[in-house]
């Protein structure tokens, strides 16, 4: 399964925003002249993403977004029906970045494992590029109960199912794989970005006295204290990779044995 080249030696995360060519970056903006004014739905959505990335989700208001675009708040309503739909548009735009990622393919031309691996890393790249937006991707109610985050578009669901079915999966197995894959991506990536957020977010504490900070009393939790350095290690990339490979392994068994795994079946 070749796989997209992987980690050189230690550390370097291939999905981190700086660590790659530049897919999963900002929206190019539609207008040809692309000068200052000339609003546009794409531009509004792009500015919203940019704004959330840099100021945080809570800071996004119609008025401020307007100001960011050099325009009054009400001008935005010509391109977006309201704030909620603006956020929906943001979510849609962000996952649409997948289409622009040259490493992610819509079909399983190099095998389903390659397909799933590339797709997973593509989504991870997006999550890491927009850590403040990803929780929105994760929690906004999907259009239909069977469109699951983070692959929130019919087109990707279709692509996913086709890829697996074309590769020999039964329809049941493909659907069940879709569910397992969604859970896996959502859990790992949401945890990873929420953790990333905490590294900076605790609203810069301009403590006059850096000593005696309000560090909660840890004496009741000796194990946590003892393992603090282990717990603080950021192994996101390795964990992601390992969980992904485990999932692929499970699916391989399902494919080989041609069945949907069921409770009560004898193991392996």
- End-to-end Cα spacing for the chain: 23
- Tokens at residue 129, please? 């590029």
The CB-side HSE value for 92 (13 A sphere, CA atoms) comes to 15
19-38 residues near DNA, rule: CB under 7 A: 37-38
Query: Nearest approach, Cβ of 110 to a copy of itself (angstroms)?
Result: 20
Q: Does 154 bind a copy of itself (CB under 8 A)?
A: yes
- Tokens at residue 255, please? 């494919």
Q: If contact means CB under 5 to 8 A according to the sort of partner, which of a copy of itself, DNA, none does residue 145 touch?
A: a copy of itself
Candidate residues 90, 182, 251, 255; the one interacting with a copy of itself per rule CB under 8 A? 182
116-135 residues near a copy of itself, rule: CB under 8 A: 135
Q: If contact means CB under 5 to 8 A according to the sort of partner, which of a copy of itself, DNA, none does residue 78 touch?
A: DNA
Please work out the total of residues on this chain that contact DNA, with binding judged by CB under 7 A.
Answer: 19
- Those residues with Cβ within 8 angstroms of residue 125's Cβ, 6 or more apart along the chain or in another chain: 15, 17, 20, 23, 24, 101
Per-residue contact string for residues 70-89; x = within reach of DNA by CB under 7 A:
-xxxxx-xx---xxx-----
**DSSP string spanning 95-160?**
HHGGGG-TT--SS-TT-HHHHHHHHHHHHHHHHHH-TTTHHHHHHSPPSSTTS-TTS-SHHHHHHH
CA torsion 141-147-149-154 (nearest 10°) is: -110
Query: Nearest approach, Cβ of 161 to DNA (angstroms)?
Result: 35
Per-residue contact string for residues 193-232; x = within reach of a copy of itself by CB under 8 A:
-xx-xxx-xx-------------x-x-xxxxx-xxx-xxx
* CA atoms of 53 and 26, how far apart (whole Å): 11
Q: Does 63 bind DNA (CB under 7 A)?
A: yes
Please say which residue, 92 or 166, places its beta carbon nearer to DNA: 92
225-254 residues near a copy of itself, rule: CB under 8 A: 226-228, 230-235, 238-239, 241-243, 245-246, 249-250
């Amino acid at each position: 399964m070749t796989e997209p080249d992987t980690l050189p030696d230690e550390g370097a995360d291939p999905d981190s925003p700086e660590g790659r060519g530049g897919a999963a970056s900002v929206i190019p903006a539609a207008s040809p002249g692309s000068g200052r004014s000339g609003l546009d739905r794409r531009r509004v959505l792009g500015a919203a993403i940019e704004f959330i990335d840099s100021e945080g989700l809570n800071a996004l208001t119609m008025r401020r977004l307007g100001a960011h675009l050099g325009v009054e708040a009400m001008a935005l309503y010509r391109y977006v029906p309201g704030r909620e739909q603006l956020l929906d548009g943001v979510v849609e735009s962000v996952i649409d970045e997948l289409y622009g990622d040259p490493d992610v393919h819509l079909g399983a031309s190099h095998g389903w494992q390659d397909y799933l691996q590339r797709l997973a890393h593509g989504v991870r790249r997006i999550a890491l590029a927009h850590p403040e937006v990803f929780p929105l991707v994760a929690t906004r109610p999907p259009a239909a109960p069977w469109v699951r985050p983070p692959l929130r578009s019919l087109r990707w669901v279709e692509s996913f199912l086709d890829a697996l079915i074309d590769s020999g999966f039964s329809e049941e197995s493909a659907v069940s794989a879709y569910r397992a894959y969604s859970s896996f991506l959502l859990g790992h990536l949401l945890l990873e970005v929420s953790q990333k957020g905490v590294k900076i977010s605790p609203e810069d504490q301009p403590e006059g006295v850096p000593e005696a900070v309000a560090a909660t009393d840890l004496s009741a939790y000796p194990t946590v204290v003892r393992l603090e350095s282990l717990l603080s290690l950021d192994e996101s990339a390795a964990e992601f990779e390992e969980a992904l490979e485990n999932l692929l392994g499970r699916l391989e068994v399902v494919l080989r044995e041609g069945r949907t795994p069921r409770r009560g079946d004898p193991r392996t």
